[in-house]
Amino acid sequence: MVSKKSSTKKALDNKISLVDAPSPMPLRFGDDPYVWACWLYYEDGRTQGEIADIMGISRATVNTYLADARSRGIVNISLEPERLGSLSLAQELKRHFGLDDCLVVPSDDGARSLIDRLGTAGGQALSRIVKSGDTLAVAWGRTVLAIAEHTSSAVQDVTVVQATGGTRASFAYTPELCAAAMAGALKGRLVNITAPALVKSREARDVILQEPLVDDQFQVLQRANKALFGISSLRPNSTIHTSGFFESVSIQEYLSKNAVGVVAGRFLDGQGTPVKGPLDERTIGIDLDTLKAIDVRIAVAGGFDKVPAILAALRGGYVTVLITDAATGSAILSAEGVRPVTARQARARSQDDPLQPMQMRSHVKKFLNDADEVVEEMLEGLVAAHGTHLVPIGGSQRSLVARNGPRPGKVGLVIGGGSGHEPCFSGYVGKGLADAVAIGNVFSSPPPGPILECARAADGGEGVLFVYGNYAGDVMNFEMAAEMAQLEGIEVRTVLTTDDIASSSIEDREGRRGVAGNFFIFKIAGAACDRGLSLQECEALTRHANARTFTMGVALEPCSMPQTRRHNFEIGPDDIEIGMGIHGERGVTRQNMAPADAIVDRIMDQIFVEMNPAKGDSVAVLVNSFGGTPLMELYIIFRRVRQRLAARGVKIEANWIGHYCTSLDMVGASISVMHLDGRLSDLLRHPCDAAAIRVA
């Protein structure tokens, strides 16, 4: 339903003939009246007379818009698919979360960064939402700064107030700079919060807030009628990390309370409930109650890694206007068990009929004795089966060392992660590969204790290299273990694997997940260590391998946990999940099932965008099963991967097909491609011998 309110939105562009008072154009249509008219006509089924009344234009103009849209290719019986998909997502997000409005940026070919696209959309929206005389509270972050850079408005007497105190960070998107940039874009009055965002103690905060100048600034903040903010995840490279919030406090204080995201320096759990912690009484800035009292609260955020955080902000009611991208919007709805519907489908569905939850199987059959002992029993069998390659450290099966790995004068390599990914990580322990591995519970990081045991066992006097996936729990526990090892005189360097190209935008490579590409990165790291290179050289080569490894996965069926024996979520009979991780989570987006070649083409198209191979280049390829996909289908996938690479004149120097990094019993597969150069080719051929891989 198109809103009839006109008091809070900008009128249509002057090039449109106005009659009476037109309705404001919903954000999801951008500034394109052609798309709005086409949606009303083709999707809402409105008559040209009704459209004229809604848009505030003449019937003749409506007729002209519809004719011009067909000639311009915007519509051909139906709306162009990318725009239609974004409009449907925006409509469903608005309906499901009770938003005032929503704008979804269509997917593109990757030519523009996600932050730039969100900044453009946010600037467009802000130029229409902000009115003369408004007081706008502005938070900080890369996306907020991008919005300021794309905002242009002719409003008058606007006040822009900094929503939090300042930070010591040296980057360009600090709270001070974001507020200043926005004030400049809106030609408004700037009110800074002349205090730090984080102080040493509650007493210091109370003293600062009693200062008359700061009190006056907070009075302005209390009067804000609109707010603009980004949403931060808790990934290691997130804004909340780089702004220095965890310099004196461990993130574990918040992770242990199930925090998933941050809004304006305040933490939320998955349901949007504020998470109290040691930083609250030391933070100077807008609190969540004050934010929630503001009439218009505009959140701009995107990226798969931010889905839990965005969901938290939506569930908590902190957002009235959401601006995101199509992939993120789809993932948000998928996490809620909602499928986007077109306007026609929505009209066909009864207004009184609540959305029915997806049906799930009662349980999945598994070879188990006691679900609570599944990891211990698995490890007992693993050690018995592969005792020629690895043995427990000090009697604990949670830390294993290679029989022929560690030796004096050699850099030690320690890897690790949760169970449920077998043969990763334990299958890559052996001569020429990892020296030791720490193993956690299903999809959970190993604790610092076993990691430290591995560091001690792997240490040959030349330092130890930690290599593991970029997940908050792993980062926290491995960092703690590294600090303890340093205290014992063991030098530790760390490389986080970030090969999953679907999990975050290309400009946010450091925020991506580590998935099946671990296989290649572990192989290169192990070879470098085995050749007796220095710790610094081993670290550099491992980082180089990570930067040239690209992975993307697709799931046909979800996995099921041993404790529940139920699917983590449901995938429809004709659906697939694109951009899968390895922890049983949903993909980045859901699409219709397609032939194998079409699915591979989608993955390879995205890999080519990032890898940009030239004719004559060489690669290594891994086609990996998530656990439930047989070799027959993996070979069909590899067949098409080889065809696509051959068409570009790219040579496959080495390939592996099979189960290498699984997600329990998930039906699906991932494709990993390492873009080789002379150094990587040489290290890839270096001999190794472990339970899951042997290179002679």
| 228 strand-pairing partners | 138, 298
Asked whether the predicted pLDDT for residue 6 surpasses 60, the reply is: no
Per-residue pLDDT at 62: 85
CA angle 330, 124, 73 (to 5 degrees): 70
**pLDDT confidence bin for 21, thresholds 50/70/90:** very low
In the chain, where the domains are located: 84-338
CA torsion angle for 309, 315, 317, 318 (degrees, to 10)? 0
pLDDT > 90 in the chain, percent: 58
Cα–Cα distance for residue pair 188/642, rounded to 1 Å: 57
Which tokens belong to 336? 């809620």
The owner of tokens 């699906």 is: 668
Per-residue pLDDT at 106: 80
pLDDT tens digits along 422-469: 999 999 999 999 999 999 999 999 999 999 999 999 999 999 999 999
**pLDDT confidence bin for 569, thresholds 50/70/90:** confident
Per-residue pLDDT at 7: 34
Cα–Cα distance for residue pair 69/50, rounded to 1 Å: 18
Asked whether the predicted pLDDT for residue 4 surpasses 50, the reply is: no
pLDDT tens digits along 582-600: 887 888 888 889 999 999 9
Whether 454 and 399 have beta carbons less than 8 Å apart is answered as yes
- Least confident window among 25-29, 150-154, 491-495: 25-29
CATH topology of domain 84-338: Rossmann fold (3.40.50)
Per-residue pLDDT at 58: 86
Cα–Cα distance for residue pair 570/360, rounded to 1 Å: 6
Which tokens belong to 205? 């905060």
Catalytically active residues, by annotation: 421, 583
φ, ψ of residue 178 in degrees (nearest 5) = -65, -45
Cα–Cα distance for residue pair 253/28, rounded to 1 Å: 39
Asked whether the predicted pLDDT for residue 691 surpasses 90, the reply is: yes
Cα–Cα distance for residue pair 665/559, rounded to 1 Å: 5
Asked whether the predicted pLDDT for residue 109 surpasses 70, the reply is: no
Beta strand residue intervals within 289-351, DSSP E: 296-300, 321-325
Ramachandran region, residue 314 (left: φ > 0; alpha: ψ -120 to 50; beta: rest):
alpha
3-state class (DSSP) for residue 105: strand
CB atoms within 10 A of CB 78: 11
The string of DSSP letters for 151-200 reads: ------S-EEEESB-B----STT-HHHHHHHHHHHHT-EEE---SBSB-S
CB atoms within 10 A of CB 407: 13
Which tokens belong to 612? 């940009």
**pLDDT confidence bin for 360, thresholds 50/70/90:** very low
**pLDDT confidence bin for 539, thresholds 50/70/90:** very high
Rg over alpha carbons for the chain, rounded to the nearest Å, is: 27
Cα–Cα distance for residue pair 291/276, rounded to 1 Å: 16
Region 527-543 average pLDDT: 97
pLDDT tens digits along 143-186: 999 999 998 888 899 999 999 988 877 778 889 999 999 999 99
Asked whether the predicted pLDDT for residue 284 surpasses 80, the reply is: yes
Whether 426 and 450 have beta carbons less than 8 Å apart is answered as no
pLDDT tens digits along 402-433: 999 899 999 999 999 999 999 999 999 999 99
Per-residue pLDDT at 14: 34
Which tokens belong to 146? 């991008």
Region 129-143 average pLDDT: 91
